[in-house]
Structure 1
Amino acid sequence: MDTSLKFLYLNEEDMINAGVKNMDKCILTMEDMFMLLHKEDYRMGGENANEHGIRVSFPKESDVEGMPIHKPDYRFMAMPAYLGGRFKMFGIKSYGSNPDNAQKGLPRSILMMSLMDATTGAPLAYMSANILSAMRTGATSGVGAKHLSVKNPKVVSIIGPGTMSKYTLYSFITAQPSIEVVRIKGRSKRGIDNFISYCKKNFPTIKEYIVCNDVQEVCKDADIVFYGTTNAAKYEENPTVKKEWLKKGALVIAASALLVDTEFLSDKDVKLISDNYKMYDGWGSGQPLPTQKNVSTLLGMGFYDAVTEGKIPREAITDMGEILTGEKSGRDSEEQIILYAVGGMPIEDVAWGYDCYMNAINNNIGTELKVWDKTEL
């Protein structure tokens, strides 16, 4: 009996060669993931199996020499998950995030993904995951653009033109090729210029870029509005959106901080869609309200607060998996405003990581590394 153990290492170049940047396929993979999520053929961390991940927190001050000190977007996390269906795979995405990384020529977050046999726990692959993570985040929003936007959308608004927004715009254009105008609100001219330069190089079908001075202005005339900002230093400084800023039929997608008042959420002309409401419900359980301020600034936590405070019924929120399985409708009219909350889940990483891994296996990509020929234990 061969008891040797090996796994496949995929560096960033390997991942690109294995198709990690294929947005068409990534969107389809995220659809598969959402349907398995709805069928409950998955597990994430925590007793409720819906945890985003496990975070190592640092103190705001410390007498311990060398102890890292808390600041926005400085975090280290492990994100474990199992996904069934055609995947039947366990995985862990790990990452460290430090906003000061840019001073060292590094991305703010550096991510790696491990895949393991869900029966034995044996390692199968260890892969560079920065692009993988950006792709699955973009594709999750792209599923929304595909199923929730008005017919033939033309104008997209981007609030926070960073890396996440680049890949999200990629998903929007893939899902809705009719898009031709991009409106932008950013915090710095350098960031905006970098975003436009990147998009002109990679998305030649875009005809016009419009830089706006404030969030209200950028939302104007947009068919799809995407919020992709990092957390503000003060809670009150995080972005918001109001119904009167939006055109009829607008789709608002938030994959980061977005504060929305309950009057907007309870408006009969507004539909609320979540990637996975159970995740926000699990985060909020036992926590002081409002959880958007005390737990997470994600839009999904705003949904949870409105439900918990009795402002809207739980039934007012539709999960994406319910739409994809045909159990509930997506857009009900071309004039309906839709808010789609995206929080990020490790089952997304397992799904896209698995498909990239299989492409690598089938095309002889990557480096095989040995764990042991025969274990000493």
Structure 2
Amino acid sequence: MYPRIDFTYLSEPDMIAAGVLDAGRCVEVCEETFSLLGKGDYLMGGANHNSHGLNIVFPKETTFPNMPVAGPDRRFAAMPGYLGGRFDVCGNKWYGSNHANMEKGLPRSILTMMLNDKDTGAPLALMSANLLSAARTGGVPGVAAKHLANKDAEVVSVVGCGPINKACFTAIMTQLGAVRKVVCFDLFLDKAKEFANWAAAEYGVEAVGVDDTEAGFRGADVITVAASRLKPLFFKDEWIKEGATILVSGPFNTDESFLTSARIVYDHTSLQEAYVEDAIASGNKDAYYGSVIGGPFFRLIDAGKLPALKDSTGLGDVVNGEKPGRENSRERVIFIACGMAVFDISWGFDLLQNAKAKGIGQSLNLWERPSQG
């Protein structure tokens, strides 16, 4: 009457063995996920079913001796969702972050992913998710590069040379076959040069490291932005060449003239609408806009200078052929990605199938039968 429940545990080495670093495959799965988003075959958190997640943000001060206080990138987030199609599964990414981790030799964020049966709620898998999350974060702009970038793009610029942008760049390069030069920008020149050395060795291209912001943007055909939240990034309209594609996965700001003249494609317009709902509910919409990636767009929408989100284009619409993406080689395109749990779910599900097929991972028992007392 009460069957035994077992689930699969996948460590980080297990995830690597299951293919988490296969950027080309990750882009394919992310593209499939965008198609499902465009069709509406998904659910995320919140009353609107489109919330990015639920965050614990710590107070600046507390009278409780053990309660954490606010610090750079210090928060917890639960990111639940359901994804249909062949996935047909629920999941939740649990996300803990603290910039001070790096002083302890730890990554800034430590993540785990749980997949669950959609009907019973029983766990299907618990997996290490740092590499999973980074890969799907890269896979999203990889899909955007496939559908929005000019195919003859020769110069790629990497703005922010951390692990997230390495994943973005790796995925983007699976879609671009004509790249001959990579410009790597970071506030810390040693990081920029280290990334450039890796890119040159990995892809056999000319690669340079720079710490001048303008040099990181001017002349690039494709620009991937995943810079630090600790210092705001600003780029100028005049730096962006005709035909350029900017793939944004981190906070930024730019001239109003660029945002009102470029073609804008969002990851998912309903997600962006949920961000605006949260901004209104916060009681300080302008401050909230300053904390999220889409803030520069939202301010211009409120001012009537950009179309409403409901009238805008999501990448799922482009993937499904419902709306155009890039319409000619000369227009400048900007893609905005804010992160959605459904991509963690789809990539995690795909990797779980690989792991099962290869006998990777450890089976853990939840119960032989549940206690009734």
Q: What interval of TM-score do these two structures reach, taking the shorter chain for normalisation? A: over 0.9
Look up the SS of the partner of 2:174 in the other structure.
helix
Contact between 1:274 and 1:300, CA under 8 Å: does it hold in 2?
no
Distance of 2:233 and 2:358 partners within structure 1: 44
Aligned equivalents of 1:142, 1:199: Cα separation in 2:
16
AA partner of residue 247 (structure 2) = I
**Hey, what does 1:164 align to over in structure 2?**
164
User: Does residue 216 of structure 2 align to residue 224 of structure 1?
Assistant: no
Question: Corresponding residue for 2:207?
Answer: 209
Counterpart contact for 1:20–1:135, Cα < 8 Å: yes
Deviation at 1:112, TM superposition (A): 0.5
Partner of 1:283: 275
Q: Tell which deviates more after alignment, 108-117 or 283-292.
A: 283-292
Within 5 Å, which residues of 2 pair with 1:172-191?
A: 172-191=172-191
User: Shift in Å at residue 283 of structure 1?
Assistant: 1.7
**Residues 275-354 of structure 1 correspond to what in structure 2 (within 5 A)?**
275-285=267-277, 286-287=280-281, 291=285, 293-314=287-308, 317-354=312-349
Q: Could you tell me whether the CA contact under 8 Å between 2:189 and 2:210 is conserved in 1?
A: no
Contact conserved, 1:292 with 1:298, CA < 8 A, in 2?
no
Structure 2: state its 5+ residue gaps. Answer: none
When normalised by structure 2's length, the TM-score is 0.94
Partner of 2:232: 238
* Alignment CA distance shift 1:289-1:231 (3 Å): farther
Identify the match of residue 361 of structure 2 among 337, 361, 366: 366
Distance in 2 of aligned mates of 1:43 and 1:208: 43
Match of 1:271 among 263, 267, 272: 263
2:144 is matched with which residue? 144
1:65 CA drift (Å): 1.2
Query: Cα 1:291–1:218, aligned 2, differ >3 Å: closer, same or farther?
Result: farther
Match status 1:130 vs 2:130: yes
CA contact (8 A) 1:272 1:316 kept: no
TM-score, normalised with respect to structure 1 = 0.93
AA aligned opposite 2:352: Y
Q: 1:301 to 1:254 in 2, by over 3 A?
A: same
> What CA RMSD, in Å, does the superposition of the two structures yield over aligned residues?
1.8
* Corresponding residue SS for 1:156: strand
Partner Cα distance (2:94, 2:301) in 1 = 32
**Local SS of the residue matching 1:175:** coil
**One-letter amino acid of the structure 2 residue matched with residue 265 of structure 1:** L
Question: Is the contact between residue 196 and residue 208 of structure 2 (CA under 8 Å) also seen in structure 1?
Answer: no
Q: Which residue of the partner structure matches residue 93 of structure 2?
A: 93
Deviation readout 1:294-351 (Å, 9 max, x if unpaired): 2454442322222222111226631001100001111111110001000010000001
Deviation at 1:353, TM superposition (A): 0.3
Amino acid at match of 1:230: S
- Determine helix, strand or coil for the equivalent of 1:136: helix
In 2, the alpha carbon distance for the partners of 1:80 and 1:332 equals 35
Q: 1:335 to 1:43 in 2, by over 3 A?
A: same
Distance 1:316-1:39 versus aligned 2 partners, 3 A rule = closer
Change (3 A) 1:291 1:159: farther
Structure 1: state its 5+ residue gaps. Answer: none
Deviation at 1:9? 0.3
The residue type equivalent to 1:264 in the other structure is F
- Identity, in percent, stands at 36
Question: Cα deviation per residue 1:103-125 (whole Å; 9 max; x = unaligned)?
Answer: 11111111100000011101000
The alpha-carbon deviation at position 292 of structure 1 amounts to 6.3
What is residue 248 of structure 1 aligned with on the other side? Answer: 242
Which whole-Å CA distance do the structure 1 matches of 2:317 and 2:93 have between them? 26
1:257 is the counterpart of 2:251: yes
Cα distance, 1:150 vs. partner? 1.1
Contact 1:271–1:317 (8 Å) recurs in 2: no
